[in-house]
Amino acid sequence: MKTVINDTTIHYEVNGSGTPMLIIHGLAQNIDSMQIPLMPVLAAANIQQIYVELPGMGESSANIGVASSDAILALLETFINQIIGDQPFYVVGHSYGGYLALGLIHDWPTRILGAFLTCPVTIADAPDRHVAHHYVAVQTDFPVKYNQDAFAAFKDMNVNLNADAWSAYQLQILPGLQQADRDFIHLLRKHYQFSFESSLMQTPFKQPVTLLLGRQDNIVGFQDQLPLLNNFSRLTLGIVDRAGHNLSQDQPKLFKDYWRHFLTSINNDAFTPHAE
C-alpha cells in the first residue's frame, strides 16, 4: 500500500486485525527487517500490524524536504492520523526506528498504549554515544556462497557468526541496505538529531514498555538508554549478553520470549497460546 504525505510517497503494509501497532525499522532498512522476525511472533495476537517504510528507504520516495528527524517524525504523525485515525496504538521501533518511537511517546504520551524498543538510538550524534566493545562470541564455519561483499559488514556488527544468523542478515538487513537512497541518508545524517533530544527520555510514560539492548552493541551501546528507567514506570529491561545491534539475529529465542512477555503484559487477551 502507498499514500502520499507532503509530496512524499510512503509505502506500508498491514497484517492482521485488532489494536493498531505501528512498526518502524532502522536507518537504511526496509520492512523486511521487521516483518520477517515479527510476523511469526504476532501471528496469534489481536494486533493490526502496520509496517511503514521511512522516506528514502524501501519503496518510499526520497524527498529531501523531509531529510531531518524532526520532519520525519512530523510525517509519521500525519501518517498515523491518516491510517490509524484517533485510535490509541502501540509502537515498535528498532535503532533509528526506536528513536522515532521515543519521539512519538514524547509528543503523544497518553495516546500510545505501549512500546517495544530494540537497540534504540537515544543520542543522535554517534561520537557522543557510549557504545560497547564488539567481539565475536560464537563463530562456526559455513560456506558463504552469495553476497560475499556484504559478509564483512555482517561480521562487524553481529556477535554470533553462524549460518542461521548469516541467512537472517541476508533476508532482513541486506535488502534495505541495497534499496536505501544513499544521498537521502547522507543528508538525513546531517540533520539526525531531534530539536528536543535533550528532553527525549524525560516524558513520564505509564504504559508497558519492553527495552532490549545488546551487551555487545557497538552502534548504540546499552548505557545511554538507561535513563528511560526514571520516567517509564512499567519498563521491562533486558540487557542481552552475546548480542550486538542486530539483536534479533544474535539471540532469536530470547527476542521471541521477550515479545511473548510483552504481549501478555499489554493485554491478557492479546496473545492466544498455541502448541509449539
173-187 pLDDT, tens digit each: 999 999 999 999 999
Question: How far, in Å, CA of 255 to CA of 88, rounded?
Answer: 25
- What per-residue confidence (pLDDT) applies to 141? 87
Nearest to 16 by CA among 50, 59, 63, 56: 50
Residue type for 86, please?
D
What is the model's pTM?
0.95
How does the average pLDDT of the chain come out, rounded?
94
Q: pLDDT-derived band of residue 268, with 50, 70 and 90 as boundaries?
A: low
Give yes or no for residue 271 having a pLDDT over 80. no
Q: Are 114 and 209 in contact (CB under 8 A)?
A: yes
- What per-residue confidence (pLDDT) applies to 274? 45
- What per-residue confidence (pLDDT) applies to 138? 84
Q: Are 12 and 230 in contact (CB under 8 A)?
A: no
Question: How far, in Å, CA of 101 to CA of 92, rounded?
Answer: 7
101 CB-side CA count, 13 A = 31
- What per-residue confidence (pLDDT) applies to 267? 75
103 CB-side CA count, 13 A = 27
Sole residue written with cell 514524547: 106
- What per-residue confidence (pLDDT) applies to 166? 95
Q: Are 21 and 48 in contact (CB under 8 A)?
A: yes
